[in-house]
Amino acid sequence: MLVGAGWALRVAGTVVGLLSFFEFKENIKDAHWGSVGEGPWWMSLLGWAAAFFAGLAAFLVGRLVVVRGKQHTADLVVSCDSLAGTRYVLYLRPFSNDPEMAALNDDIQGGGANLENIFFISGLTHEEALVRRFRQFGRVVAIGRPGENLPLPGATRAYLPLDDWKGTVSELIAGAHVVLLSAGPGPGTVWEFTEALRLLPPDRLVLLAYCDAATYDRFREAVAVEYDRRSRTEPGSPGTGLWPPLPALPGYPPPARPERPRWQVLLNGGRKRLRWDFALKGLVVFGPRWEATFIRFDPTTLKLPSVWTLHKLVKRELRPVQAQLEALDARN
């Protein structure tokens, strides 16, 4: 019911908002600005402006209602044992990322975008957008945050006890077709990365960078410390008993062009610095000997940046990564 009501609000808000927006523009063209005392056309402008904002409010509320409905209808993993023998993608992340990943995309278009384009922004959360990019490789499963009332839209949630989660996560990593791990300096995430390093072939691990450069650098430092501790005190790969070499995680690539030429500034609404960026800043993939490559989705490489060109950039950069994952043999 919530999903249906939310979509009804979105559609109604879009119709009212677009109709009132274009009527407002037509009334502006026909307005007699010298006749300030004439009330009807002023009243018409105010009426259409009020209708536009009413439609916009309905549209935005509808997006939130749809998300709430998705939380109530989210798929759950009753038992992690049921995943054995199935093809799944394991999504691991710091729980502190959840509020940002549960947010709705609010980008309209770069530069001097038309206001009416706000009614065409995506209704997907950032996590749902991630799941759509990788669900072709299997059911995307994530560990649910302890104590949350409802699961977030996106990956299928599995819930684990607080005091005994490492053993189950280790089994899930070992059986996953692909592991997506969002970088973060927290001890749980760092342990998960070293465990994936211990158990997985390098081509089955993808490191996601939803964070900034400073957070990524703290993650690299914490991984080195944790790897040193575990490699000295714990057994390595189940097959060999040895730990693979610690990958030399590359640095966070700086923007190619932090400032834009004057002509691009004029074409993009007068902004000297680039505002538009993708929530997923980039990812790190690994070669046969754990050689690490950072693929940065750099919006400064675009001459005319917008949400549409940025999504094309991400799609283009992801294509070889997805081809590599498509070539993987089934593990189960």
52-95: per-residue pLDDT in tens? 999 999 999 999 999 999 999 988 998 888 898 899 999 999 99
Instruction: Indicate the pairing of strand 156-158 with strand 76-77.
Output: parallel
Structure tokens at 17: 């908002």
Residue 111's pLDDT is what? Answer: 41
> Of 172, 206, 182, 196, which is closest to residue 324 (Cα–Cα)?
206
pTM (2 d.p.): 0.84
**Whole-angstrom distance, CA of residue 247 vs CA of residue 244:** 9
Q: What is the pLDDT of residues 150-184, one digit of tens each?
A: 999 999 999 988 788 999 999 999 999 999 999 99
Angle between helices 39-72 and 2-30 (to 10 degrees): 160
Alpha helix positions (H), 235-306: 262-267
DSSP reduced 3-state for 74: coil
Q: What is the pLDDT of residues 10-23, one digit of tens each?
A: 999 999 998 988 88
Residue 110's pLDDT is what? Answer: 43
